Structure 1
Amino acid sequence: MDREKPLLGTVQETLLIPLYARAVETRKEHALLRDPRAEEIVASIDYDFGRFDGLPSLTGALLRTLLFDRWVAEFLSAHPQATVVEIGTGLNTRYERVDNGRARWFELDLPDVIALRRRFFTDTPQRTMIASSVTDAAWAAEVASGAGGPYLFLAEAVLPYLDEADVRQVVDLLADRFPGALLALDTAGPGFFDTQEEHDALSRVEARMHWFCPDLPAQLADWRPGADMMASHTLTSLPAALLAQLPLPYRQMVAALAAQKLPQAEGYRLNLIRLP
């Protein structure tokens, strides 16, 4: 079988890292999550995934994904017919993991990513792919006209790669078009941002982050007064209920990392905010 060679831009290439993390994890006896679809996709792509073998940050990507999955599941439990929008969807399989059969999903990414994604996924009445930059207001109009709220927007491993002005534009766009919506996003603090060249995964690709945010509540208060921080976690301070569900070796690993209080780990946060 011919494998698909990914023709992706510099930042877009980073989507292959969490994809590979999920595929590798699926083969383990005591896995954080199982994603056979990711395994199939990795096997179908002509790319040197071996450059990411054994990297600790693969586990970090999985923990982030688990928390975002949990936020979606909780949101859909409270609002079964709501709308979920994945910003920078990449080759994510969150729909396969947590969809409830009643929600409306939109999966947004740049045209080169969506072209690759369409090799593996298809639109349905409940699930629509949109090829667009997140900074282009047209996609928000398509979402607003195609589904009702409440809305949950997920920007997993996306916004730190934008310039700060573009991040603010995205936040303004969401707050203006979808007031009261939830937004899940990750932020990089100075400790994480300043060590990108030594980062185990980023050092193996060309993409680099451009926006760091040491204090998201203060940033939001300046940008959009009234935004409410619903939750904020580091990878070492995940919700107790989520930690309790991890296999023992991972619980021990998180505890050991927390004890070290590394600036790189403590400066990277996973946040859930309600827009004003």
Structure 2
Amino acid sequence: MKQGGVEETVLIPLYARAVETAKTDPALRDPRAVEMVEAIDYDYAKFDGLPSLGGAVMRTALFDHWTRAFLAEHPDGTVIEVGTGLNTRFERTDNGRAHWYDLDLPDIIELRRRFFHDTRRRTMISASVTDPAWPDQVDTGGPYLISAEAVLAFLSEESVRSVVQLVANRFPGALLAMDTSGTGIVAAQQQHDVLSKVDAVMNWACDDPSEVAGWRPGAEVLGSHTLTSLPPELYAALPAAYRAIVDELVPQQLMQVEQYRMSLIRLP
């Protein structure tokens, strides 16, 4: 794969899951990630040993946790993964009844179709999340979970506002799972262990996810977590090595970690 291409950023969480799967006590297992890493020609070695790979795994574990909880309450609901990349949440959390939509840019979907295909319950949508027409391709009913993992920070604030308004208008009552990076992280991204190695640039900084809920009257933040404040049941299920990393962060590291949040927002 071409270094610096638009597809490059989707390979970071993919590689993180593949590396995790090879461990004797993993936080999650993803054999499809291993398969894709082996099939895509790319210099993954530049990410080896970087702390952010573990952070990506914990983020994915939290989004999986939210998805399982949503499907437990709404087994016939609809999950929409925006900026899906090469995500495999369906393989890890599907209940055999829900409907899924995987949305990403055309070249990402082209890559994705090398490994996945549409089914009766699972559909890929080739479009930008900022395109107001993409919801027209969602033809199933709610309730809805909109999952935006590691995507919105790369948009402008104006675009993020438009996306939030779009999904609120088209999928009323939906849950929006998203992550945000604070001002300090965005400002120092060229020193970030992983982002400094790719061409992608974060454009949107958000220090308080409640600001996002404030864009839409009636929206409510149901939960907001950092890597050091994961839901107790999820933290308890993490391998001991991950719990030790969280427990042993020094104050300077904590300041950085606290600026990155993962939030679940109910839209009106």
TM-score clears 0.5 = yes
Inter-CA distance 54–173: structure 2 relative to 1 (3 Å threshold):
same
Could you tell me which residue of structure 1 aligns to residue 238 of structure 2?
A: 246
Could you tell me which residue of structure 2 aligns to residue 141 of structure 1?
A: 136
Give, in whole Å, the separation in 2 of the partners of 1:238 and 1:250. 12
Deviations 1:163-204 (CA, angstroms, capped at 9, x unpaired): 011000000101111111000000011121122011000010
Structure 1 length normalisation: TM-score?
Answer: 0.94
Contact 1:86 1:107 in 2 (8 A): yes
Q: Unpaired runs of 5+ in structure 1? A: none
Could you tell me which residue of structure 1 aligns to residue 144 of structure 2?
A: 151
CA RMSD of aligned residues (A): 1.4
Deviations 1:128-161 (CA, angstroms, capped at 9, x unpaired): 0000000112111111xx1000000000000000
Give, in whole Å, the separation in 1 of the partners of 2:126 and 2:212. 29
Query: Which amino acid in the other structure matches residue 166 of structure 2?
Result: L
Inter-CA distance 8–76: structure 2 relative to 1 (3 Å threshold):
farther
1:169 aligns with 2:169: no
Secondary structure of the 1:232 match is: strand
C-alpha displacement of 1:262 = 2.8
Secondary structure of the 1:50 match is: helix
Inter-CA distance 8–20: structure 2 relative to 1 (3 Å threshold):
same
Could you tell me which residue of structure 2 aligns to residue 226 of structure 1?
A: 218
Secondary structure of the 2:261 match is: strand
Give, in whole Å, the separation in 1 of the partners of 2:228 and 2:247. 7
Structure 1 residue corresponding to 2:183, chosen from 190, 194, 201: 190
Structure 1 residue corresponding to 2:60, chosen from 65, 81, 91: 65
Contact 1:6 1:116 in 2 (8 A): no
Q: Unpaired runs of 5+ in structure 2? A: none
C-alpha displacement of 1:30 = 1.0
Secondary structure of the 2:133 match is: helix
Structure 2 residue corresponding to 1:206, chosen from 192, 199, 209: 199
Q: How does 1:79-158 map to 2 (within 5 A)?
A: 79-143=74-138, 146-158=139-151
Structure 2 length normalisation: TM-score?
Answer: 0.97
C-alpha displacement of 1:215 = 1.6
Inter-CA distance 88–258: structure 2 relative to 1 (3 Å threshold):
farther
Could you tell me which residue of structure 1 aligns to residue 260 of structure 2?
A: 268
Inter-CA distance 225–213: structure 2 relative to 1 (3 Å threshold):
same
Give, in whole Å, the separation in 1 of the partners of 2:223 and 2:129. 23
Secondary structure of the 1:270 match is: strand
Query: Which amino acid in the other structure matches residue 85 of structure 1?
Result: I
Query: Which amino acid in the other structure matches residue 156 of structure 2?
Result: D
Secondary structure of the 1:137 match is: coil
Query: Which amino acid in the other structure matches residue 256 of structure 1?
Result: E
**Aligned residues, how many?**
268
Query: Which amino acid in the other structure matches residue 147 of structure 1?
Result: T
Give, in whole Å, the separation in 2 of the partners of 1:207 and 1:7. 11
C-alpha displacement of 1:226 = 1.0
Query: Which amino acid in the other structure matches residue 208 of structure 2?
Result: D
C-alpha displacement of 1:258 = 7.0
Contact 1:237 1:258 in 2 (8 A): no
C-alpha displacement of 1:218 = 2.8
